Amino acid sequence: MSSDFFGTPPDDPSKPSRRRFVQGLAATGAVAGLGLWPRPVWAVKSPGHPVVLSGTQFDLAIGETPINITGRTRPAITVNGSLPAPVLRWREGDTVTLRVANQLPQGSIHGHQTSIHWHGLLLPANMDGVPGISFSGIDRGEAYQYQFRIAQGGTYWYHSHSAFQEQAGLYGAIIIDPIAPEPFSYDRDYVVLLSDWTDLDPTALFARLKKMSEYDNYYKLTVRDFLRDAKNKGLAATVADRRMWGEMRMTPTDLSDVNANTYTYLMNGETSLANWTGLFRSGEKVRLRFINGSSMTHFDVRIPGLKMTVVAADGQYVHPVTVDEFRIATAETFDVIVEPSGQDAFTIFAQDLGRTGHVAGTLAVREGLRAPVPAVDPRPILTMDDMGHGGMGGGHDMAAMAGGSTAATDHSGHDMSGGSMAGMDHGAGGMQQHPASEQGNPLVDMQTMMPVPKLSDPGIGLRDNGRKVLAYADLKSTFADPDGRDPGREIELHLTGHMEKFAWSFDGLKFSSAEPLRLNYGERMRIVLVNDTMMTHPIHLHGMWSDLEDEQGNFMVRKHTIDMPPGSKRSYRVRADALGGWAYHCHLLYHMEAGMMREVRVEE
Ligand SMILES: [Cu+2]
């Protein structure tokens, strides 16, 4: 078959050195042909299916393993020699003990210290695995014993919280079998762990982002061009220059800092060519546990020919909702049930938000089959709304750009009628206020003036595509607000940044210069996030749930990671029931490293 069999490569042939088809079969470490515990039928698997470790006692050795994803051998970080790290299968109510040994070699490019964070799990602060907040990290040659009781069921994951080790391979799935029966049934169960791989030393990639933030987007007229023009000529003049936003030809490529120009996308550690395959028999119900374990990539996922019924989000049950497609932000998980029949093979297709690449795997009745792989969707033209400018031209204030001058505020392009604000009855009312720390701040290049929740919006590039696409508004927990109290207080935090400087922060203050956020032990409080940037940021609070609210401030769905599109304002409730220090950050790895992070301290 033609190259379309593997999907169409990105549409710009002028891009140098783009590998059209990744090489090699991703021999991902010492991977045995094991199936998911405990059903022996799953033992029939291709190489590359994740190792599954179950029980209550675990020895995990973090080391460096040469790995060949693209045709070049590179040093990956592995757990027990495996990339992704082994699937850990636990039972709710058990106490697990994990001895994590640092076996990184002398002189490793990935550093001398390591850590594991158990993403989305409720546990004591000193078990959370964030160096500098939870504990002091694990030095080379040493080990740390994690021990905690499993207080929840569902699909989660774990990853390093040290330097850029997550990018280099230190991520794996966690499956927790719940005590109570699940509210749905299925015959087979697969983890589908998506990630992004680069041959680059991640430290060098970060340095490149700091120096040339638009590196992966240089070939298009971009948001950054627009920002430069707006800075030099003023917003009104720039908009007038280009007459219509529709003619600006900006693409969402620019809304992801790193894309397939740099990354090879993986499914369970496999490239598209290696074709990770999950087997089914016609008529069976198959549970797919999607986990976005990438460092920097939002994936849009679909299985042409199959409806997917979403039954859990971030490990927690939701009322089943049937969709054709969903966007999964970095660190989110979605459990879906599919019922394949009528074909021998179906493609699991995950393209990046920027529409620069994809990874595909297969559900099939036997090994070695493939179904057609769709081309990556065309890049949609960005609207003002996509960029957080609000439906009627309100939205972002360019005046705080680059120079940090607030005196030069240009409101001429703004319509403050606020039509799109209808329904947001708390934390907003008219023009958005901004924290004083953003004013005149050289690390803040813009501010949103009319942010909206956008809960019903499937997102950039997913609207009106003829498919039913999951939106946050579709996610409803199967339980009522587990706390029940109204929030006693509210904290508003702004997601801020400067695209050209690759500076990212909360309220214009980088982690290194910010005070911890203090919560009172036992309180029920509300966090309101306002995204002042043009990027999408998945925000993760450690140690406590983030109970997302609807536009009216009612409890909607329990999550551990809240995705924040450009120009959005979303609120969630937090019960401060976990004493100690907790990380709170954007889960895009390089945004976190650049400073979009805070410590949250829960104190008596
Ligand atoms: Cu971010």
Q: Determine the distance separating the centroid of ligand 1 and the alpha carbon of 586, expressed in angstroms.
A: 5
The confidence score (pLDDT) of residue 236 equals: 66
The confidence score (pLDDT) of residue 213 equals: 72
Q: Determine the distance separating the centroid of ligand 1 and the alpha carbon of 292, expressed in angstroms.
A: 15
Q: Determine the distance separating the centroid of ligand 1 and the alpha carbon of 587, expressed in angstroms.
A: 6
Q: What is the DSSP string of 166-197?
A: TTTT-EEEEEEE-SSPPSS--SEEEEEEEEEE
Statement: residue 485 has pLDDT above 70? yes
Residue 207 parent element (H or E): helix 202-211
The confidence score (pLDDT) of residue 261 equals: 87
Q: Determine the distance separating the centroid of ligand 1 and the alpha carbon of 313, expressed in angstroms.
A: 20
pLDDT band at 450 (very low <50, low <70, confident <90, very high): confident
Q: Determine the distance separating the centroid of ligand 1 and the alpha carbon of 506, expressed in angstroms.
A: 10
- Largest Cα–Cα distance of the chain, in whole Å? 68
pLDDT band at 256 (very low <50, low <70, confident <90, very high): confident
- Which region, left, alpha or beta, applies to residue 241 given φ > 0 means left and ψ of -120 to 50 means alpha? alpha
Q: Determine the distance separating the centroid of ligand 1 and the alpha carbon of 431, expressed in angstroms.
A: 24
- Average the pLDDT over each of 8-22, 86-100, 222-236 and give the range with the smallest value: 8-22
Q: Determine the distance separating the centroid of ligand 1 and the alpha carbon of 350, expressed in angstroms.
A: 21
- Mean pLDDT over each residue of the chain, to the nearest integer: 83
The confidence score (pLDDT) of residue 232 equals: 72
CA distance 84 to 464: 35
Q: Determine the distance separating the centroid of ligand 1 and the alpha carbon of 562, expressed in angstroms.
A: 11
Statement: residue 425 has pLDDT above 80? no
Taking only the tens place, the pLDDT of each residue in 238-249 is: 665 554 444 444
Q: For a pLDDT cut of 70, what percent of the chain falls above it?
A: 78
Q: Determine the distance separating the centroid of ligand 1 and the alpha carbon of 228, expressed in angstroms.
A: 21
Q: Determine the distance separating the centroid of ligand 1 and the alpha carbon of 529, expressed in angstroms.
A: 12
pLDDT band at 8 (very low <50, low <70, confident <90, very high): very low
Statement: residue 433 has pLDDT above 50? yes
Q: Determine the distance separating the centroid of ligand 1 and the alpha carbon of 539, expressed in angstroms.
A: 7
Cα radius of gyration (the chain):
23
Do the beta carbons of residue 542 and residue 506 sit within 8 Å? Answer: no
Helix and strand totals (H; E) in the chain: 4, 35
Do the beta carbons of residue 84 and residue 157 sit within 8 Å? Answer: no
Q: pLDDT higher for 220 or 352?
A: 352
Q: pLDDT higher for 8 or 467?
A: 467
Q: Determine the distance separating the centroid of ligand 1 and the alpha carbon of 488, expressed in angstroms.
A: 28
Q: Determine the distance separating the centroid of ligand 1 and the alpha carbon of 548, expressed in angstroms.
A: 18
Structure tokens at 187: 């015959």
CA distance 377 to 465: 9
Statement: residue 31 has pLDDT above 50? no
Q: Determine the distance separating the centroid of ligand 1 and the alpha carbon of 536, expressed in angstroms.
A: 6
Do the beta carbons of residue 163 and residue 111 sit within 8 Å? Answer: yes
Q: Determine the distance separating the centroid of ligand 1 and the alpha carbon of 537, expressed in angstroms.
A: 4
Taking only the tens place, the pLDDT of each residue in 264-286 is: 999 999 999 999 999 999 999 99
Q: CA nearest 83: which of 164, 158, 162, 28?
A: 28
CA distance 351 to 545: 28
The confidence score (pLDDT) of residue 241 equals: 53
pLDDT band at 221 (very low <50, low <70, confident <90, very high): low
Q: Determine the distance separating the centroid of ligand 1 and the alpha carbon of 82, expressed in angstroms.
A: 28
Please, what is the end-to-end C-alpha distance for the chain in angstroms?
65
Do the beta carbons of residue 538 and residue 564 sit within 8 Å? Answer: yes
Do the beta carbons of residue 584 and residue 548 sit within 8 Å? Answer: no
Q: Determine the distance separating the centroid of ligand 1 and the alpha carbon of 316, expressed in angstroms.
A: 24
CA distance 461 to 124: 40
Q: Determine the distance separating the centroid of ligand 1 and the alpha carbon of 29, expressed in angstroms.
A: 31
Statement: residue 395 has pLDDT above 50? no
Q: Determine the distance separating the centroid of ligand 1 and the alpha carbon of 305, expressed in angstroms.
A: 33
Q: CA nearest 307: which of 264, 337, 268?
A: 337
Map residue 480 onto helix, strand or coil.
coil
Beta pairing partners, 185? none
Q: What is the mean pLDDT of residues 56-72?
A: 95
The confidence score (pLDDT) of residue 50 equals: 75
Q: CA nearest 475: which of 229, 309, 304, 233?
A: 309
The confidence score (pLDDT) of residue 239 equals: 61
Is residue 504 packed enough to be buried (19+ CB in 10 Å), middle (13-18) or exposed (0-12)? buried
Taking only the tens place, the pLDDT of each residue in 155-208 is: 999 999 999 999 999 999 999 999 999 999 999 999 999 999 999 999 999 998
Q: For a pLDDT cut of 90, what percent of the chain falls above it?
A: 68
- Average the pLDDT over each of 146-150, 229-233, 369-373, 402-406 and give the range with the smallest value: 402-406
Q: Determine the distance separating the centroid of ligand 1 and the alpha carbon of 362, expressed in angstroms.
A: 31
Map residue 593 onto helix, strand or coil.
helix
Q: Determine the distance separating the centroid of ligand 1 and the alpha carbon of 324, expressed in angstroms.
A: 27
Q: Determine the distance separating the centroid of ligand 1 and the alpha carbon of 302, expressed in angstroms.
A: 24
Q: Determine the distance separating the centroid of ligand 1 and the alpha carbon of 561, expressed in angstroms.
A: 12
Q: Determine the distance separating the centroid of ligand 1 and the alpha carbon of 209, expressed in angstroms.
A: 13
Residue 211 parent element (H or E): helix 202-211
Q: Determine the distance separating the centroid of ligand 1 and the alpha carbon of 7, expressed in angstroms.
A: 29
Q: Determine the distance separating the centroid of ligand 1 and the alpha carbon of 597, expressed in angstroms.
A: 9
Q: Determine the distance separating the centroid of ligand 1 and the alpha carbon of 588, expressed in angstroms.
A: 5
CA distance 484 to 367: 49
pLDDT band at 500 (very low <50, low <70, confident <90, very high): confident
Q: Determine the distance separating the centroid of ligand 1 and the alpha carbon of 509, expressed in angstroms.
A: 14
CA distance 575 to 527: 11
Taking only the tens place, the pLDDT of each residue in 283-302 is: 999 999 999 999 999 999 99
The confidence score (pLDDT) of residue 210 equals: 87
Q: What is the mean pLDDT of residues 55-69?
A: 96
Statement: residue 12 has pLDDT above 70? no
Q: What is the mean pLDDT of residues 386-403?
A: 45
Q: Determine the distance separating the centroid of ligand 1 and the alpha carbon of 210, expressed in angstroms.
A: 14
The confidence score (pLDDT) of residue 258 equals: 87
Q: What is the DSSP string of 85-136?
A: EEEEEEETT-EEEEEEEE-PPTT-TT-SEE--EEET----GGGS--BTTTB-
Statement: residue 499 has pLDDT above 90? no
Q: Determine the distance separating the centroid of ligand 1 and the alpha carbon of 495, expressed in angstroms.
A: 8
Q: Determine the distance separating the centroid of ligand 1 and the alpha carbon of 77, expressed in angstroms.
A: 23
The confidence score (pLDDT) of residue 377 equals: 94
Q: Determine the distance separating the centroid of ligand 1 and the alpha carbon of 460, expressed in angstroms.
A: 16
Taking only the tens place, the pLDDT of each residue in 536-595 is: 999 999 999 999 999 999 999 999 999 999 889 999 999 999 999 999 999 999 999 999
Taking only the tens place, the pLDDT of each residue in 409-419 is: 333 333 333 33
Look up the pTM and report it: 0.85
Q: Determine the distance separating the centroid of ligand 1 and the alpha carbon of 87, expressed in angstroms.
A: 27
**Residues comprising the chain, all counted:** 604
Q: Determine the distance separating the centroid of ligand 1 and the alpha carbon of 34, expressed in angstroms.
A: 36
pLDDT band at 43 (very low <50, low <70, confident <90, very high): very low
- Which region, left, alpha or beta, applies to residue 353 given φ > 0 means left and ψ of -120 to 50 means alpha? alpha
The confidence score (pLDDT) of residue 58 equals: 97
Q: Determine the distance separating the centroid of ligand 1 and the alpha carbon of 581, expressed in angstroms.
A: 21
Structure tokens at 111: 């550093």
What letter represents residue 32's amino acid? A
Q: Determine the distance separating the centroid of ligand 1 and the alpha carbon of 26, expressed in angstroms.
A: 29
Q: Determine the distance separating the centroid of ligand 1 and the alpha carbon of 411, expressed in angstroms.
A: 27
Q: Running DSSP on this structure, what letter comes out for residue 426?
A: S
The confidence score (pLDDT) of residue 394 equals: 39
Q: What is the mean pLDDT of residues 61-66?
A: 95
